[in-house]
């Protein structure tokens, strides 16, 4: 993959910014043409080769041959469907455009689902003897992966990871690499008022954030050091069995090795700090609402296609409103 810059990171950044602003580029080589007018003899970069090729390029453009959406050079036939040439700056620009497009699509889906969730809240509010508008709508992801038996390869991978952590915990000196992330970078743990709402939200979500746990479960040396500090007599075999014995018979497909049918199979004290303290965007929204005095919520779990189910929740009680919405 070629590049139209010298390769310096700053030059690459400046050129990508130039392309994003849709500034004029040489129609032959695709490099910046600052302060030039529209197509004409003076609109190339000035290089002799580009000046000589310009009439041919101009005829191609006038004939409607597609050009790169980034640098505006004529696209070879193999790249027409792609819309961008194969230069580094343009392929990176395309990736950024695709990411922004996907984000816009997700935001539009979220707005549609928020409206649907409000309709569900209004329709079922009478079942909880409440005023619909008193319940703040919160969307959470919906995880519907099937249960499956863990493969021997995944179990072996986790056992190797666990044995490495145990050896480092018991026989190595503590160091900064023990932590997956600095302890002070976590948000404060859930308060007593937040716990019942978070529990409803996480149950309806089904463990979307657990998917990244895969074969390591976010466990670090710091996790095991915490266990040893609470129980200094723990042996290698005991530590190994504490985790190996918790792997469920059935696992959520592709998720953390401890993601069972009813959630995490590890007791909270054995979970990684990340699992105990992480708050997704939706839970952070709940926290902010509670801090502002809100105590009633309608938790709606949604997939890419629709709002799947919803549940009313309050600081002191909760009641399921709808399951597996078919609309």
Strand ordering across the sheet containing 296-302? 136-141, 296-302, 307-314, 318-322
164 and 39 both lie in a single domain: no
249 and 200 both lie in a single domain: yes
122 and 80 both lie in a single domain: no
Please state, in angstroms and as integers, the Cα–Cα distance from residue 76 to each residue in 60, 66, 81, 82, 204, following that order: 11, 9, 10, 10, 50
* pLDDT, mean of residues 83-106: 90
Would you say residue 95 lies in a domain? no
Q: The domain containing residue 122 runs over which residues?
A: 107-327
280 token code pair? 């997704």
Of 139, 143, 135, give the one whose Cα is nearest residue 117: 139
Q: How confident is the model at residue 41 (pLDDT cuts 50, 70, 90)?
A: very low
In this structure, are residues 263 and 203 in contact, taking their beta carbons and an 8 Å threshold?
Answer: yes
248 and 321 both lie in a single domain: yes
Would you say residue 165 lies in a domain? yes
247 and 184 both lie in a single domain: yes
271 and 138 both lie in a single domain: yes
Predicted local confidence at residue 135, as pLDDT:
93
129 and 231 both lie in a single domain: yes
Helix residue spans in 125-231 (DSSP H): 152-171, 195-205, 221-230
74 and 218 both lie in a single domain: no
Predicted local confidence at residue 327, as pLDDT:
44
* CA–CA separation, 319 and 130 (whole Å): 12
User: Quick check: helix, strand or coil at residue 279?
Assistant: coil
* CA–CA separation, 256 and 93 (whole Å): 34
276 and 137 both lie in a single domain: yes
Q: Which residue has the higher pLDDT, 63 or 178?
A: 63
Q: What is the CA radius of gyration of the chain?
A: 28
Would you say residue 92 lies in a domain? no
Please state, in angstroms and as integers, the Cα–Cα distance from residue 32 to each residue in 18, 95, 168, following that order: 8, 21, 54
Kindly report, residue by residue over 228-242, the tens digit of the pLDDT.
989 999 999 999 999
* CA–CA separation, 56 and 93 (whole Å): 27
Q: ∠ CA 112-116-120 to the nearest 5 degrees?
A: 170
Can you tell me which residue has the tokens 């266990």?
A: 227
Decide if pLDDT at 324 tops 80.
no
* CA–CA separation, 198 and 200 (whole Å): 5
Predicted local confidence at residue 291, as pLDDT:
94
Q: How confident is the model at residue 254 (pLDDT cuts 50, 70, 90)?
A: very high
31 and 142 both lie in a single domain: no
Predicted local confidence at residue 182, as pLDDT:
56
* CA–CA separation, 300 and 140 (whole Å): 6
Please state, in angstroms and as integers, the Cα–Cα distance from residue 63 to each residue in 54, 67, 214, following that order: 14, 11, 53
Share of the chain above pLDDT 70, in %: 90
Of 268, 272, 265, 267, give the one whose Cα is nearest residue 248: 265
Would you say residue 125 lies in a domain? yes
Kindly report, residue by residue over 131-157, the tens digit of the pLDDT.
899 999 999 999 888 999 999 999 999
203 token code pair? 């149950």
78 and 125 both lie in a single domain: no
Would you say residue 3 lies in a domain? no
147 backbone dihedrals φ, ψ, rounded to 5°: -80, 145
71 and 149 both lie in a single domain: no
Domain count, the chain: 2
Of 288, 277, 291, give the one whose Cα is nearest residue 186: 277
């Amino acid at each position: 993959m070629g590049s139209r810059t010298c390769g310096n990171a700053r030059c690459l950044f400046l050129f990508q910014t130039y392309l994003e602003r849709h500034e004029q580029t040489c129609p032959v080589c695709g490099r910046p043409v600052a302060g030039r007018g529209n197509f004409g003899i003076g609109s190339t970069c000035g290089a002799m080769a580009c000046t000589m090729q310009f009439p041919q390029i101009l005829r191609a453009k006038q004939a409607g041959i597609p050009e790169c959406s980034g640098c505006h050079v004529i696209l070879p036939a193999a790249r027409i469907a792609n819309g961008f040439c194969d230069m580094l700056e343009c392929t990176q620009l395309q990736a950024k455009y695709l990411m922004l497009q996907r984000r816009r699509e997700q935001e539009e889906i979220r707005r549609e689902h928020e409206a649907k969730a409000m309709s569900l809240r209004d329709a079922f509010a009478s079942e909880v003897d409440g005023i619909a508008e008193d319940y703040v709508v919160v969307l959470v992801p919906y995880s519907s992966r099937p249960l499956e038996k863990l493969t021997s390869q995944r179990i072996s991978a986790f056992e190797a990871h666990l044995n490495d952590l145990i050896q480092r915990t018991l026989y190595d000196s503590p160091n900064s690499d023990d932590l997956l992330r600095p302890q002070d970078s976590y948000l404060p743990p859930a308060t007593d008022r937040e716990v019942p709402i978070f529990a409803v939200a996480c149950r309806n979500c089904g463990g979307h954030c657990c998917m990244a746990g895969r074969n390591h479960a976010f466990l670090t040396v710091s996790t095991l050091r915490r266990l040893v500090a609470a129980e200094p007599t723990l042996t290698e075999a005991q530590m190994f069995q504490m985790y190996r014995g918790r792997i469920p018979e059935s696992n959520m497909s592709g998720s953390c090795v401890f993601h069972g049918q009813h959630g995490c199979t590890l007791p909270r004290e054995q979970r990684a700090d990340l699992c105990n303290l992480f708050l997704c965007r939706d839970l952070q929204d709940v926290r902010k609402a509670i801090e502002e005095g809100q105590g009633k919520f309608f938790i709606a779990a949604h997939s890419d296609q629709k709002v799947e189910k919803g549940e009313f929740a309050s600081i002191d009680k909760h009641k399921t409103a709808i399951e597996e919405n078919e609309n």
